[in-house]
Structure 1
Amino acid sequence: MGNNLILAVETSGAACSVALFNESCILGSKTLEDSHIQSSMLVPMIEQLFSSVSMKMSDCKAVAVSSGPGSYTGLRVGVSTAKGLCYGLNIPLISVNTLDLLVAAATSHFKADETIDFYVPMIDARRMEAYQSVYNSKSERISSIEPKIFNQNSYDAYLEKGKVAFVGNAVEKFQSAFPHQNCVYFSCEPSAIYMGNLAFE
């Protein structure tokens, strides 16, 4: 064990999380709910994670980190920490888009027998705006990533074709704008525990 070990770091949202994967199998994870202290707690949390699975940082073969969109301050902390680890260990840095990460969370959340035709990951921006994109049932991105102001007709073209899953930390904020029978919702923060498959792609 350890030959294909990847550390995943996620700091784009309100919670900070880290996880260790061997191939796509998760070995352990830790989450810090208070994003205001992640700059001082991220490295100790990573050290605790390695200790909890009886491994060393030198066993790591790569570091995967969320690249946004998301909190500028959080992303800066995560990326700078990941770069520092990669430089010190002389290992590759893997960039993972935060919206891709939310879609991975959604595919894990919804039951296998629940057909989802489109995914709309949403990262809270401000007021009635969110960073978003649209993905098909194969988790392939089919629209650009951009901040968008929503109304109840924003996704009619997709809702007319099938079931649309809205996922992310902006879902509750915008749920009232989508009163449609083809809508399903999963309110969540981005998490490192869903980064395994994306990091090994």
Structure 2
Amino acid sequence: MALILNLETATTNCSVSISENEKTILLKENNAVEYSHSEQLHVFIKETLEEASLSFSNLDAVAVSKGPGSYTGLRIGVSAAKGLCFSLDIPLISIPTLQSMARKIKIEGNEVVIPVLDARRMEVYSAVYDETNKEVRETRAEIIDASSFEEFSTYEKVHVVGSGAAKCSEILQYANFTFDASLMPSAKEMAFISYQKYQQKQFEDVAYFEPYYLKDFVLQGKKN
């Protein structure tokens, strides 16, 4: 049996779960308009363990959403995960944010899921997954235009999900595409992937692991 603490902070959703093997046994999250991960994350971790009647010493590993996503959110989540793994001497597991998002949509046959996270202007972070949650097109930062994802326009159905779906729906006119901008990354969907990686001992180096930012951080200056 493996008890894994899963942390998701790549977007505005501050999400923490405890999983036993591949099953989520407890979830606590809050999707606030303003990022409040620095205030909420450690509180959620403490409350989740208490509600599950567990202590830190019961944990076998910590899994963290590695990005892409919010620079600040990723830094907070990864820092917390690394601190716990170092102090408890347990493995660190990283989960691609878009992969766990794709698990929210159950598809079959000739369908794909395209999780998209909003970036600046008409840009999104995106990847494409099939019915087995296998990546069939790599993660990219891309500017959406009328020809984006054209290679998937022959599929029976394409599910575009995530915070970038609204801007995609304004541009993409493929008849087989559906859009859901309400879907957010959550620690609930991390459980299956984190347990797979735990079994296969796909662990990160706690000292050197960094989030997958995909793009350099740009500081926004104040307008005059």
Same fold per superposition (TM over 0.5)? yes
State the TM-score, normalizing by the size of structure 2. Answer: 0.81
For 1:25, the equivalent position in structure 2 comes to: 23
Larger helix share, 1 or 2: 1
For 1:193, the equivalent position in structure 2 comes to: 188
Query: How many Å separate the matches in 2 of 1:97 and 1:116?
Result: 23
Query: How many Å separate the matches in 1 of 2:187 and 2:146?
Result: 31
Query: How many Å separate the matches in 2 of 1:169 and 1:42?
Result: 21
- AA aligned to 1:127 is R
For 1:151, the equivalent position in structure 2 comes to: 145
For 1:176, the equivalent position in structure 2 comes to: 170
Q: Does the Cα contact within 8 Å between 1:117 and 1:162 map onto a contact in 2?
A: yes
Label 1:182 to 1:100 Cα distance change in 2 as closer, same or farther (>3 A): same
- AA aligned to 1:79 is V
- AA aligned to 1:64 is A
Q: Does the Cα contact within 8 Å between 1:19 and 1:49 map onto a contact in 2?
A: yes
Report matched runs for 1:103-142 at 5 Å.
103-107=102-106, 117-142=111-136
Q: Does the Cα contact within 8 Å between 2:14 and 2:40 map onto a contact in 1?
A: no
Q: Does the Cα contact within 8 Å between 1:116 and 1:165 map onto a contact in 2?
A: no
Deviation >4 Å, runs of 4+: none
**Residue 45 of structure 2 corresponds to residue 50 of structure 1:** no
Q: Does the Cα contact within 8 Å between 1:50 and 1:57 map onto a contact in 2?
A: yes
For 1:99, the equivalent position in structure 2 comes to: 98
User: Is there any run of 5+ residues in structure 2 with no aligned partner, and where?
Assistant: 197-224
- AA aligned to 1:199 is S
- AA aligned to 1:117 is E
Secondary structure, counterpart of 1:120 in structure 2: strand
**Residue 5 of structure 2 corresponds to residue 12 of structure 1:** no
Q: Deviations over 1:21-74 (max 9, x none)?
A: 001111111112235321122111100011111111111100000000000000
Query: How many Å separate the matches in 1 of 2:15 and 2:3?
Result: 17
State the TM-score, normalizing by the size of structure 1. Answer: 0.90
**Residue 93 of structure 2 corresponds to residue 65 of structure 1:** no
Q: Percent identical across equivalent pairs?
A: 35
Query: How many Å separate the matches in 2 of 1:18 and 1:97?
Result: 16
User: How far does residue 99 in structure 1 lie from its aligned partner after superposition?
Assistant: 0.9
Query: How many Å separate the matches in 1 of 2:131 and 2:44?
Result: 35
- AA aligned to 2:31 is E
For 2:37, the equivalent position in structure 1 comes to: 38
User: Is there any run of 5+ residues in structure 1 with no aligned partner, and where?
Assistant: none
Q: Does the Cα contact within 8 Å between 2:110 and 2:155 map onto a contact in 1?
A: no
Q: Does the Cα contact within 8 Å between 1:8 and 1:63 map onto a contact in 2?
A: yes
